[in-house]
Structures are given as structure tokens and as C-alpha cells.
């Protein structure tokens, strides 16, 4: 990939339990240039989470101050907590030709697309069925029945927004789903808008040779 290429904002969304994290971790392992966009959130850290790694953890007043200073490229309320993406981080990545991976929902993806229409690629990971999704959530044995029911209600709402995404990947088989996600990412790196600078550099070089 040419260093002249413009960066890519690669958004991957899915209902909880659809396998998004596994797929994204595998993509990042294969493509080190794909950096994870660490969001700000008002929710409390879970066991094992580290500030600045999974999220930047801030309190509600701090988050509201950041909104007032227009520091977010996107932000939304999810499961009763606020989540937001640093605008400076996004702009620096794009200008530096670096790709960012976003784990955000349709609200965040919609706002990123509005702000960076040529730079955002939206991918939605589909579960095989709601029943399969419920089975996956219950097999984790980490959530109560009430939490699982709430996640399923949210999943049904999220699925209604599939048509806002550029690509849909069915995760009924992890290998096939990863192959599809990988193909999307590689192809999008070569989209004209991200390679135009490199093309112009070649043209300029050819002109100098002539």
C-alpha cells in the first residue's frame, strides 16, 4: 500500500453476540496498519479493562464539556452510557494515511458518514438468526436473563438499520465471514478516492521522465 494513500475509516457494527469482536481482532492481527479507534465513554470499566486501551473512561461532566468544545467526530447514547470518537484522532489518521477500525453502532456510523462521506466504510455483521444470537449470549454465561433479554431487544432494533450499511456479512461460519470482511477491507483500500494521490504522483513522475 502506497504511503500516499488516504486513510480509511472502517466501521464494523453488529448486535452483541454476533461475533464482531472475534472478526475484528483477526483483521487487526493480519493488518497491523489497521488501528483501533479508542472511544471515550461514561460507562465504568469492566474487570480487565484498561483506560486508554479498550476505552478512554471519563465521567459525565467531562464528556459533556467535550461535546461543548466540539471535540467529537461522533457521539451517541448506547445502553444508557455515552460513547464518542475524538475528531482530532480521526483527522490525524486520515491525513497520515492510517486506517482506523471503529466498533460503534449505527448512530455513530451515521454521524461519521455525515462528517467524512468519502472516507467511511460501514460493515454490518449479521447473526444467522435471533435464536442463534440468543444461544450465543446464553453460552457466555456472563449475563443475567434480564440483561440477555435487553440485548436481544436492542439487537432487533439494530437489525432494522441494516440498510444504512455498505456491506452485510453473515456470520454463520467464522472462516467464511472473516474471508468476506477481509475482502471488503482490502478492496476498500484500493478505492479511487484513497489512491488518487498515488496515481497523480505516478503521472507526475512519468511526465518528468518524458
Average pLDDT per block of 10 residues along the chain, 210 residues long: 74 93 96 94 93 95 97 90 94 91 93 94 96 89 84 93 97 97 96 85 67
3-state secondary structure of 109: helix
Do the Cβ atoms of 79 and 137 come closer than 8 Å?
no
Domains of the chain from N-terminus onward: 9-203 (3.40.50.300)
Do the Cβ atoms of 15 and 108 come closer than 8 Å?
no
pTM for the structure as a whole: 0.87
- Which residue's C-alpha cell is 491525513? 95
3-state secondary structure of 81: strand
Close Cβ partners of 209 (under 8 Å, ≥ 6 residues apart): none
Closest CA to 103 of 27, 38, 185: 38
The three cell numbers locating residue 77: 447514547
What number of other Cβ atoms are within 10 A of residue 127's Cβ? Answer: 23
Do the Cβ atoms of 51 and 142 come closer than 8 Å?
no
What number of other Cβ atoms are within 10 A of residue 160's Cβ? Answer: 10
What does the DSSP 8-state code read for residue 51? B
What is the CA angle 27-30-32, rounded to 5?
Answer: 95
Residue 116: its pLDDT value, please? 93
The three cell numbers locating residue 30: 493480519
Going through 107-188 in order, the beta strands assigned E by DSSP cover 120-126, 167-170
Residue 210: its pLDDT value, please? 40
Amino acid at each position: 500500500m502506497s504511503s500516499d494513500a488516504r486513510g480509511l475509516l472502517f466501521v464494523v457494527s453488529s448486535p452483541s453476540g454476533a461475533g464482531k469482536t472475534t472478526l475484528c481482532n483477526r483483521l487487526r492481527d493480519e493488518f497491523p496498519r489497521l488501528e483501533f479507534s479508542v472511544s471515550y465513554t461514561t460507562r465504568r470499566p469492566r474487570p480487565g479493562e484498561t483506560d486508554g486501551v479498550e476505552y478512554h473512561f471519563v465521567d459525565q461532566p467531562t464528556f459533556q464539556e467535550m461535546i461543548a468544545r466540539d471535540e467529537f467526530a461522533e457521539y451517541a447514547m448506547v445502553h444508557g452510557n455515552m460513547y464518542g470518537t475524538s475528531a482530532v484522532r480521526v483527522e490525524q489518521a486520515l491525513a497520515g494515511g492510517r486506517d482506523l477500525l471503529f466498533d460503534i453502532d449505527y448512530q455513530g456510523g451515521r454521524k461519521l458518514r455525515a462528517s467524512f462521506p468519502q472516507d467511511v466504510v460501514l460493515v454490518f455483521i449479521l447473526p444467522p438468526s435471533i435464536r442463534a444470537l440468543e444461544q450465543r449470549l446464553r453460552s457466555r454465561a456472563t449475563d443475567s436473563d434480564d440483561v440477555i433479554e435487553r440485548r436481544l431487544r436492542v439487537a432487533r432494533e439494530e437489525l432494522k438499520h441494516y440498510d444504512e450499511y455498505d456491506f452485510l456479512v453473515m456470520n454463520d461460519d467464522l472462516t467464511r465471514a472473516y474471508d468476506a470482511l477481509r475482502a471488503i477491507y482490502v478492496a476498500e483500500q484500493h478505492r479511487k478516492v484513497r489512491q488518487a494521490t498515488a496515481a497523480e504522483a505516478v503521472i507526475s513522475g512519468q511526465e518528468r521522465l518524458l
